[in-house]
Amino acid sequence: MSAIPHQFRPDEGFAQALDAADPLGSLRNEFAIPAGPDGAPLVYLLGNSLGLMPRSARAIIEEETENWERLAIDGHFAARVPWASYSEAINPALARVVGAEPDEVVAMNTLTVNLHLMLASFYQPDGRRRKVLMEDRAFPSDRFAVASHLALRGVDPSEAILVARPLAGEETLRTEDIEALLEEQGQEIALVMLAGVNYLTGQWFDLGRIAEAARRQGCKVGYDLAHAAGNVPLALHDWDVDFAVWCTYKYLNAGPGSIAGAFIHRRHGSDSSIPRLTGWWGQTMADRFAMGPTHHPAQGAAGWEVSNPPILSLAPLRASLEQFDRVGMPALRQKSEALTGYLAALLSAIPDPPFQLLTPGDPGARGCQLSVQLPGRGRELNDRLRAVGIVPDYREPDVVRFAPTPLYNTYTDVWRVGQAVRAVLTPPGA
């Protein structure tokens, strides 16, 4: 199915035939699909901002509220999934999503808090090696976190943040240009801090290749996987990445503001020489409840925890990870390529389109997102689509993002989007 553009037909029957043959089609029934004012399900293409609710999340949340009601403090050890070891219970599934070992991941805090914690450990300026390499159009919170951290450490962000920019006339970064930048300035770069998938353009960076190029220059490597975790295949352990952070409310469907995740490579997990900000929960279970004056960090990523995890935030993540484990990233990726390729084909079939596609045309360089730049009319397109029951995402000043998500979007959803965009942008009588 990933070769849809080569067998493409623009009629609705083609979309319906694809849905009928979709082996993952029944997954849609496992999600609560919002309805419009007319009661019809919306075409929701905003999983890159907030994923839909797995129906099973309600029961798992209710299980924990009942434990709270029935067991109170004893829920830490007497609940079916004890609260004291709740994170450890989900680590294997979380690790499979990001290509890690279970001891290399932990669910904790929020994404930007985790980024601050990782910067405290892995940004270690030394002499002229003080720079942080980031991408142009990095998500603002990443830029704010890095800049504020550098300033706190007495490093001027305006001098120390090195921004990789696309070539003139292009919208996305070339891997070879990032490699060239590392080759030229690598001895001055302390940390490479990039997104896995850029939030605005939808570009999926070649994370393994970039990490290898950074290591050749002696740079630490960290990734923000907010738009990558649950979207594209990842192999953080094999890529030898130093750390990564991500949220779980986008493609991982764990609910608004839900708990975030962090990865610390196993080679750092028992290294007591790495500085870190600590709290009582980042210790071994025995030391955690001994309440002693000396911090004894747990092995692996768990040693970076600072506080006990919010159980009511972890609960829906359990529901989501069960789905990812059951289906598997390879199958999701196959459908993702097909859905996004189908949408790209529908948009490219619009005659004389007044928009520019910011997302790479190569399926291997994007996840399930297409970003359309429509100068002067982006807001109009977004509003008119919403008026007919299609929910994309609008980013100032003129970008509309579409994210056909393989867990719950259909080919008919995508066909409807193509038809609606054409209707908005095609002049009358054309």
CATH 3.90.1150.10 residue ranges of the chain are 4-30+328-425
Measured CA to CA in angstroms, residue 10 lies from 4, 6, 75, 327, 345 at distances of 11, 12, 55, 29, 9
**What pLDDT is recorded for position 1?**
38
Q: Is the pLDDT of residue 6 over 90?
A: no
Calpha distance 124→135 (Å, rounded)? 20
How does pLDDT run across 392-405, given as a tens digit for each residue?
Answer: 999 999 999 999 99
Residue 24, pLDDT > 80, answer yes
| Beta strands in 338-377, from DSSP E residues, in sequence order | 356-357, 370-373
From the candidates 86, 139, 355, 408, give the one annotated as an active-site residue: 139
Collapsing DSSP to helix, strand or coil, 107 comes out as strand
CA distance 129 to 137: 24
Class of CATH domain 4-30+328-425:
alpha beta
Q: What is the rounded CA–CA span in Å between residue 69 and residue 394? A: 42
**DSSP β-bridge partners for residue 373:** 356, 399
Catalytic, out of 103, 142, 206, 224? 224
190: left (phi over 0), alpha (psi -120 to 50) or beta: alpha
4: confidence class by pLDDT, cuts 50, 70, 90: low
| 249 tagged catalytic | yes
Task: Give the model's pLDDT for residue 384.
Answer: 97
181 to 112, 187, 192, 421: CA distances (angstroms): 26, 11, 11, 39
| 90-124 confidence digits (pLDDT tens) | 999 999 999 999 999 999 999 999 999 999 999 99
- Rounded Cα distance between 137 and 116, Å, is 19
**Residue 19 structure tokens:** 């849905």
H-helix or E-strand spanning residue 411:
helix 411-425
Q: Point out the catalytic residue in the list 249, 251, 324, 408.
A: 249
pLDDT score of 376: 94
Choose the weakest-confidence range: 157-166, 185-194, 208-217, 420-429: 420-429
What digits encode the pLDDT tens for the residues 280-297? 999 998 899 899 999 999
Q: Which of 336, 355, 363, 373 shows the shortest CA–CA distance to 137?
A: 373
**CA distance linking residue 177 with residue 131, whole number of Å:** 17
Secondary structure element (H or E) that encloses residue 244, with its range: strand 243-246
pLDDT digits 0-9 by tens, 36-52: 999 999 999 999 999 99
Catalytic residue among 28, 130, 250, 288: 250
pLDDT of residue 410 exceeding 50: yes
Residues 6+ apart with CB under 8 A from 121: 243, 264, 268, 274, 275, 276, 304
Give me the pLDDT at residue 392, please: 98
Q: Residues 144-191: pLDDT tens digits?
A: 999 999 999 999 999 999 999 999 999 999 999 999 999 999 999 999
Span(s) in the chain for CATH 3.40.640.10: 60-325
Indicate whether 300 pLDDT > 50. yes
Cβ-contact 324, 316 below 8 angstroms: no
- Mean pLDDT in residue range 257-283: 95
What is the widest separation between alpha-carbon atoms in the chain?
A: 78
Indicate if 250 belongs to the active site.
yes
Rounded Cα gap, residues 279 and 120, in angstroms: 14
Tell me how far apart the alpha carbons of residues 249 and 247 are, in angstroms, rounded to a whole number.
6
Average pLDDT over residues 417-423: 97
**Quick one: pLDDT at residue 103?**
97
Summarised one tens digit per residue, pLDDT across range 313-366 is: 999 999 999 999 999 999 999 999 999 999 999 999 999 889 999 999 999 999
pLDDT at 272: 86
Query: Which of the residue ranges 21-25, 205-209, 289-293, 368-372 would you say has the lowest mean pLDDT?
Result: 289-293
**Active-site residue, from 130, 288, 401, 416:** 401
Question: ∠327-329-333 over CA atoms, to 5°?
Answer: 110
DSSP at 345: H
224: annotated active-site residue: yes
60-325 CATH, one of 3.40.640.10, 2.70.50.60, 3.20.20.70, 3.40.50.2300: 3.40.640.10
As a whole number, mean pLDDT of residues 363-370 equals 97
Q: How confident is the model at residue 219 (pLDDT cuts 50, 70, 90)?
A: very high
Mean residue pLDDT of the chain comes to 95
pLDDT higher than 70, residue 16: yes
φ/ψ (deg, to 5) at 106: -155, 140
Unique residue bearing structure tokens 């990233």:
329
User: Residue 41 pairs with which residues in a beta bridge?
Assistant: 35
Q: Which residues pair with 133 in a beta bridge?
A: 162, 192
Q: For residue 181, what are the contacts with CB-CB under 8 A and spacing of at least 6?
A: 133, 162, 164
Cα 401 from Cα 391, distance rounded (Å): 10
Neighbour tally for 169: CB within 10 Å: 5
Strand pairing report for 43-44 and 390-391? parallel
Identify residue 314 by its one-letter amino acid code. Answer: L
